[in-house]
Every structure is written in structure tokens, then in C-alpha cells.
């Protein structure tokens, strides 16, 4: 146990502050990204069927953008490509959510129906 403590103390003392900040950003980004699965799981449990609530996509964008920034900082092209492509998909889904909500407000669109519709829709 003392050896582990000594290693951690040395790591803390030898690691630049900017590196610690980016490590914190990486962990926070991963938490944000993981929250989308928790939101989806809880919504599906409540509905007793698989659904994807709007908040899933918002957590996806925030977590994905943070992970993309972390990947750029790490200069990891594989991670950058994966997160960058995901951001396009998440952004497109948020666009659909917002344009559908505007259409509903204007009375120009029917509410969502079918197996993927939010509970209470239709």
C-alpha cells in the first residue's frame, strides 16, 4: 500500500497541471457520454420498451464534443475520426428533434407514432 501511495504522490508531483486538467476533462467527458446510456435505460424501463429520449442526443453531443476535444489534445486520429463522425449523427438527430417540435407548434406536423415514439406521443 505504501508503494502505491508513493507512486501516486510521484505521479502527482511530476505531472504538469495542464496534463491533470486534460485528464479531468477526459474523465468528465466520459461521464457525460455514459449518462446517455443511463437516460436511455431508465426511459426504456419506465416505458417497458426500448426508446431513445431527446436527452440521449443532448448528452451524446456534449459528451462527444468533449471527447473530440480530448482526442485532439491527445492527437489521436482514430479517436478524432470516431468522435467526429458521431457528432455529425448526434447533431442531425437534434436537428430532427427541433424541426419536428417547431412543426408541431405550428400545427404542420403530426405527432410521432410507432414503436419508437416517446411515451404519451400520438
pLDDT tier at 35 (50, 70, 90 boundaries)?
confident
- pLDDT tens-digit series, residues 42-65: 988 898 887 888 998 999 999 999
How far is the C-alpha of 113 from the C-alpha of 97, rounded, in Å?
14
Q: Residue ranges per domain, the chain?
A: 18-106
Grid cell at residue 76? 489521436
How far is the C-alpha of 35 from the C-alpha of 32, rounded, in Å?
5
Residue 44: its pLDDT value, please? 87
SS3 content of the chain, % helix, strand, coil (to 5): 80, 0, 20
Residue 20: its pLDDT value, please? 93
- pLDDT tens-digit series, residues 60-104: 999 999 999 999 999 999 889 989 999 999 999 899 989 988 888
Q: What angle do CA 34, 59, 114 make, to 5 degrees?
A: 100
Looking at the predicted structure, is the pLDDT value of residue 106 above 70? yes
Grid cell at residue 74? 491527445
Q: What angle do CA 34, 75, 91 make, to 5 degrees?
A: 45
Residue 121: its pLDDT value, please? 45
Contact 29, 67 (CB under 8 A): yes
Residue 111: its pLDDT value, please? 59
Q: What angle do CA 89, 93, 95 make, to 5 degrees?
A: 115
Amino acid at each position: 500500500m505504501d508503494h502505491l501511495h508513493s507512486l501516486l504522490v510521484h505521479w502527482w508531483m511530476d505531472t504538469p497541471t495542464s496534463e491533470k486538467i486534460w485528464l479531468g476533462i477526459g474523465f468528465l467527458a466520459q461521464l457525460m457520454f455514459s449518462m446517455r446510456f443511463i437516460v436511455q435505460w431508465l426511459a426504456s424501463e419506465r416505458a417497458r420498451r426500448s426508446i431513445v429520449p431527446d436527452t440521449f442526443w443532448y448528452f451524446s453531443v456534449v459528451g462527444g464534443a468533449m471527447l473530440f476535444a480530448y482526442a485532439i489534445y491527445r492527437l489521436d486520429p482514430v479517436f478524432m475520426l470516431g468522435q467526429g463522425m458521431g457528432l455529425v449523427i448526434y447533431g442531425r438527430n437534434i436537428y430532427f428533434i427541433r424541426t419536428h417540435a417547431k412543426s408541431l407548434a405550428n400545427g404542420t406536423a403530426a405527432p410521432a407514432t410507432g414503436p419508437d415514439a416517446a411515451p404519451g406521443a400520438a
